């Protein structure tokens, strides 16, 4: 399947100069959605993964579907103040300033094998922070999966210690 044909590009969103890759057009397409989940399932079905870690918010969509398909649990990583139980927090750098994400302290057990998932790999900052949270809890990161990778931003530089799999990669805006 040519996934690129199912991804909509929105110019100047969320700010001028950005060519936003919109996955909602893939999600609303039954064939496109099935392709994404099935391809990731085939890649990870024999890796001994016990949880999918999805990053807010679009990482929840395919992440939960994949967890269901693999018959394993799903754990959300969210923006601060969105999780109800005790959390740990990781700050990370943005282009202008900082942001933070959190995970429940009891979300994963020490030594548990997890797959990290998000919709888009851009600069790698959010995923790098998410990996730090999982490492702090003692999780074993089996891989990082994405629907889209913006390779022209060189995100793998920050995440070079991990096995990264993206369904589609863009070499330029």
Asked if 42 is an active-site residue, the reply is no
85's tokens: 């139980």
Of residues 24, 99, 31, the one with CA closest to residue 61:
24
Which residue among the candidates 69, 78, 95, 102 is catalytic per the annotation? 95
Which residue among the candidates 8, 56, 58, 173 is catalytic per the annotation? 58
Asked if 95 is an active-site residue, the reply is yes
Residue 56 DSSP one-character state: T
Whole-Å CA distances, 80 to 59, 84, 98? 16, 10, 12
Active site residue ranges: 58, 95
């Amino acid at each position: 399947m040519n996934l690129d044909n199912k991804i909509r590009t929105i110019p100047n969103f969320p700010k001028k100069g950005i060519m936003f890759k919109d996955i909602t057009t893939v999600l609303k397409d039954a064939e496109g959605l099935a392709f994404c989940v099935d391809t990731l399932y085939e890649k990870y079905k024999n890796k001994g993964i016990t949880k999918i870690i999805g990053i807010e918010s679009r990482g929840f969509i395919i992440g939960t579907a994949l967890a269901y398909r693999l018959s394993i649990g799903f754990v959300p990583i969210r923006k601060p103040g969105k999780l109800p139980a005790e959390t740990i927090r990781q700050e990370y750098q943005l282009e202008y300033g900082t942001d933070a994400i959190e995970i429940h302290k009891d979300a994963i057990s020490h030594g548990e094998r997890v797959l990290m998932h998000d919709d888009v790999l851009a600069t790698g900052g959010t995923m790098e922070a998410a990996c730090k949270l999982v490492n702090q809890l003692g999780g074993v990161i089996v891989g990082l999966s994405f629907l889209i990778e913006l390779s022209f931003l060189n995100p793998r530089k920050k995440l070079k210690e991990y096995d990264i799999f993206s369904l589609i990669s863009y070499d330029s805006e």
